[in-house]
Structure 1
Amino acid sequence: MTEPHLEHSIFGGHQDEPVDGVHGAAQTRAQARGGRTAAPRRRRGRGRRRGILVVALAIVAVAGFAAYTVLRPVVDGFLESNDYPGPGSGSVQVVVNDGDSGRAIGATLQKAGVVKSAKAFLDAASGDSRAAAIQPGTYTLKKQMSAKGALATLVDPANRSVPRVTIREGLWKNEVFAALSKSTGVPLAQYVAAAKDPGSLGLPAAAKGNLEGYLFPSTYEFPAKATAGEQLRTMVAKTVSELDAAGVPAADRERTLTVASIVEGEVSGDADRGKVARVIENRLKTSGPPTNGYLQMDSTVHYAVQKRGRAGTSDADRRSTSPYNTYKHPGLPPGPINSPGEASIKAAAAPTPGGWFFFVTVDPDTGETKFATTAAEHARNVQEFQAWCRGHADRC
């Protein structure tokens, strides 16, 4: 049997062998050099792409971790509530000052640890019309309250505490300073110093720098941090306002206030104020008998010698050379002798019609006062007062 004949291709290989011309040539050259056959280029490209992909994934992973680390607080901030659930615990005092905005109040609450954020308080306030009525003052709240809970506390007047100062009628300015200092805690020396700068207190020029009479008696709610000057300025403004309300022209303020202060110092009941004011005016308009233009008011002598607590005056007191001694000097004193209230200002602005020249309080305990048009009638009334004094020697 004849053996089959194997035909060779033009590349020298057998027909039944898969031959890549380029690869075969490269293999032949490699074998000729005694080296290893080179790997196909297709396989080398796949390995390089895999390496690049691994590096890229590693970079993405690192970048993602870094972004998560940086952005996590921001994301948590969006997810976490900016408000406490409440109701809170403990207690803390918070001061709301005059003129504080909602934002300012929120910041104060946040700083004190009452609310978690000022924004939470603003959000609660914006949805509640009562927020506009929050008054200056000191409030006691809890730590870590909900914003709505804090707002509810602030809008309730029962929770508001303010330093109240009541200045009664008829006090001298040094007595007013002492009362203010005791109630507010501001040192007395600061009121004395503030009084030396009357221009900053709004004092009318006619007062000639003297605060006496211009510290209106009333109950005041001063802001917690109000200075002595701010307090006095408020009181002066109140006095001017009361004079305007009584219809007193600016040019007559000083005179009216001086008459009103004498009225305040002489009577204790509202019923007699207009009549006392009329006695003063009648005496001022008469240069001859029965009074020769002298007011002869004990209250002005008390001011001159700075003595309190006596129903009358002594001979020594009436000999004082002070221009405020109306027994010695005719006409009105140089200025007010105390702080008159609303009733006395109105009486001085519109005295009760009448012809009286005299009056005397015959019973200082009850305030009973008798008026007279003649000296003889007045003398009889004075005897009643002297009888009272005999029974109250320690007060006359």
Structure 2
Amino acid sequence: MNAHLEDDIFDDDRHHHSHRSRRDASRARRPKRRGRTAVALLLAVAVIAGGGYLAFGSLRGIVPSLGSDAVEDFAGPGAGQVEITVEEGATGSDIGSALEEAGVVKSSGAFVQAAAAEPDKAAKIQPGTYELKKQMKASDAFTWLADNANRVAQGVTIPEGLWAVEIYERLSKATKIPVARYEAAATSEQLKLPTEAGGSIEGWLFPSTYEFPKDSTPVEQLDTMIAKTQEELQKTDVPRARWERTLTVASIVEGESGAADRGKVARVVENRLADPTGPTVGMLQMDSTIHYLLKKRGTITTSDKERESDSPYNTYKNKGLPPGPINNPGAAAIEAAADPEPGKWIFFVTVDPDTGETKFATTTAQHERNVQEFCRNTGSCE
């Protein structure tokens, strides 16, 4: 067996992160995406204590225009094109006012009246950008907004495990804002980065699909992602003082593990940190940290030369955790870092890189057998 390859495997070389992070991105997001809530149409439905709905006439004191059927309305069908952005949390009157100002409907009251007539449909309106005609009949404008398929796609998807520099590139491609402006925003005094981050944005840009308003700035976009990370951390029992540590462990878990193994990898990290006299003498020896400091993708292992770096991110030379997160982890990795799976594992190796099958070991002898299985499956240990 090639000597340095054997060392690489022994020190937990891992799988191809990039393609799995994309696969995991969609699966991890499905149970977690609570941010995209239906817009609350304030005047569409009002619930009373008895469980019924307020009589339509009771809304007259809230919106005078509802006191009469003679609200101003266009005959439709309208012409031309205009884009309208429905902000998250917007009320029916907010949307109606925006439509009126843009010339889509003749009056906000006409739109609110159409929404109040169909509360179930009103609840389906989602935040986002819509392209409508000018001088539409209010009921037609309402029906158009209630169909989510009519949203103009402005979204950008950020997979789990990307470095901040990779996220800036994706954002730039979607928004046409230069990467340099995102780099500047990351260190801006206006950025709402929590003090726990220690001034570094790495690890705090939550992976998800975002739809930013067209006029949003890089600082505002990054702030949105930072806020999402804080939301995920708040779901754990980890105190704020340990948020940065949790994200650091989560980022290593994200860089090293498959979907089913995150909790076990998190436990390996903690077991190595807890035993300064163990097989790894308190060092994590994770190739993902080397890949981060080299900004290198697409390889399973690292070479002897690559592991010679004196960087504090070199976990083959330095004991303990690296100075901070090495990527931007998703919800599942954060959960694993906050509550690792119980176990005494010290080693792990992906015995089949094609399937991602990973085996964990508590002793050196067990791990060596797993290494040999890797060699048989890949033929790369000659």
Normalization by structure 2: what TM-score?
Answer: 0.74
Whether the aligned pair in 2 keeps the contact of 1:283 and 1:293 (CA below 8 Å) is yes
Q: 2:352 aligns with which of 335, 358, 363?
A: 363
Aligned equivalent of 2:322: 333
Q: Secondary structure at the match of 2:301?
A: coil
The yes-or-no answer on 1:161 pairing with 2:136 is: no
Whether the aligned pair in 2 keeps the contact of 1:115 and 1:121 (CA below 8 Å) is yes
The yes-or-no answer on 1:179 pairing with 2:170 is: yes
Aligned equivalent of 2:232: 242
CA gap of 1:341–1:185, structure 2 versus 1, over 3 A, is same
1:259-303 per-residue CA deviation (whole Å, 9 max, x = no partner) reads 11111111122x211111111111111111311111101111111
Aligned CA-pair RMSD: 2.7
The yes-or-no answer on 1:225 pairing with 2:215 is: yes
In the TM superposition, residue 248 of structure 1 has moved relative to its aligned partner by 1.1
In the TM superposition, residue 107 of structure 1 has moved relative to its aligned partner by 5.0
CA gap of 1:360–1:107, structure 2 versus 1, over 3 A, is same
Aligned equivalent of 2:181: 190
Q: Which structure carries more helix by proportion?
A: 1
Equivalent position amino acid for 2:208 in 1? S
Of the two structures, which has the highest relative contact order with CA contacts closer than 8 Å and spacing of 6 or more?
2
Whether the aligned pair in 2 keeps the contact of 1:305 and 1:320 (CA below 8 Å) is no
Aligned equivalent of 2:194: 204
1:330-375 per-residue CA deviation (whole Å, 9 max, x = no partner) reads 1110011111111111111111221111111122221111111222
CA gap of 1:222–1:391, structure 2 versus 1, over 3 A, is same
Give the distance between the partners of 1:112 and 1:252, measured in 2 at CA. 48
Give the distance between the partners of 2:285 and 2:152, measured in 1 at CA. 46
Equivalent position amino acid for 2:329 in 1? P
Give the distance between the partners of 2:275 and 2:71, measured in 1 at CA. 81
Q: 1:261 aligns with which of 246, 251, 269?
A: 251
Aligned equivalent of 1:252: 242
Total equivalences in the alignment? 312
Give the distance between the partners of 1:346 and 1:121, measured in 2 at CA. 43
CA gap of 1:322–1:146, structure 2 versus 1, over 3 A, is same
Q: Find the structure with the greater CA-based Rg.
A: 1
Equivalent position amino acid for 1:157 in 2? N
Whether the aligned pair in 2 keeps the contact of 1:98 and 1:223 (CA below 8 Å) is no
Q: Please, which runs of 5 or more residues in structure 1 have no aligned partner?
A: 1-79
Identity of aligned residues (%): 60
1:113-141 per-residue CA deviation (whole Å, 9 max, x = no partner) reads 43345554455556664657644322222
The yes-or-no answer on 1:300 pairing with 2:285 is: no
CA gap of 1:279–1:131, structure 2 versus 1, over 3 A, is closer
1:186-222 per-residue CA deviation (whole Å, 9 max, x = no partner) reads 322221111012x543322232111111111122232
Whether the aligned pair in 2 keeps the contact of 1:136 and 1:223 (CA below 8 Å) is no
Q: Secondary structure at the match of 1:385?
A: helix
Aligned equivalent of 2:335: 346
